[in-house]
Structure 1
Amino acid sequence: MIYSVDVRIVAPVHDTEVTDRVADAVSNVFPDAEPTHEDGALVAEAHTLDAFSDVLHEQEILDTARRVFLNNVDDDGFSFSLKKQAAFEGVVNFAVGEPDELGEIAVDVRVREPDVESFVDYVAPETDEGRPVDPVREYGDRFDPEEAEY
């Protein structure tokens, strides 16, 4: 799938926090993003969510991610927030409810190509009993429908 997206990631850095640890939290879940320090926050840009999608697959939280994305969708993309401490450990934990005292990692995804829903399908495909429905995303070029076990 060919897509064109802009991902903006913002994580507040409070006086009590070590900037490098916040940068590690961002890099652990968004390794393609290069964070820079701007006015009390780390800001990073990326143009892919492939590594992030891989983490969603590994943690088997595609349904949760999909629900969060679709609940926060607009005409141009979607947004979500992550817990900083979990991200520091390389774990995706969506922030819902009361905000954390130290803030959360805010992610804004703007989709140019394809449409927003197709990109959500790519990053967090629908599942059936926890397995992705789209075997091409799961297996990439290695997928051969002739050999698939259904």
Structure 2
Amino acid sequence: MGGKLLECEVKIETPIKATENPRKVLESILNIFPKIKIKETDKSIKGEGGIEALEELKESLEKRRIRSTARKILYENRIGPKTTFYLNKQAAFIGKTNILEEEISSLGDIKIEIISENLKEVIDWLAPKIEDEPQAN
């Protein structure tokens, strides 16, 4: 990366349904985003951070060998300087990364927005092209 520090803004949000334990919802988020700054309300948990908030997600995408899928979703959902994707809340609770293009769970998934003037570079860092995986982009 030539020594240039990547910068981005990371925003996450997930609803807390009446049937859910707010502590477990918070744990789901912190399992994947331990460095995110959390704001809780009765109905949702929101978080904000920078590129460092994505480090655990980056490792998880690599370990689970789903970088190509993640890369495809990140590029497909890109609008200007922002991309949006979702993580399954139940999978996150057990420390697994299940990346989604759109919200599908009845409990509400974890919505993640990445905003950067250098979004392509951030995506390339988070989910780089891998030679031995099927290519998404």
Query: Equivalent residue of 1:35, what SS?
Result: strand
Query: Equivalent residue of 2:46, what SS?
Result: strand
Q: What residue is the counterpart of 1:100 in the other structure?
A: 105
Compute the TM-score of the two structures, normalised by the length of structure 2.
0.87
1:43 and 2:43 matched: no
Query: Equivalent residue of 1:91, what SS?
Result: coil
Matching residue within 62, 78, 83 for 1:78: 83
Q: Partners in 2 of 1:52 and 1:98 — Cα distance? A: 18
Q: What residue is the counterpart of 1:64 in the other structure?
A: 69
Compute the TM-score of the two structures, normalised by the length of structure 1.
0.80
Contact 2:14 2:111 in 1 (8 A): yes
Q: Partners in 2 of 1:20 and 1:98 — Cα distance? A: 21
Contact 1:27 1:34 in 2 (8 A): no
Unaligned runs of 5+ in 2: none
RMSD: 1.7
Number of aligned residues: 129
1:53 and 2:58 matched: yes
Q: What residue is the counterpart of 2:129 in the other structure?
A: 126
Q: Percent identity?
A: 27
Structure with the bigger RCO (C-alpha within 8 Å, sep 6+) is 2
Deviation at 1:77, TM superposition (A): 2.0
1:18 and 2:17 matched: no
Matching residue within 109, 116, 119 for 2:119: 116
Deviation at 1:39, TM superposition (A): 4.7
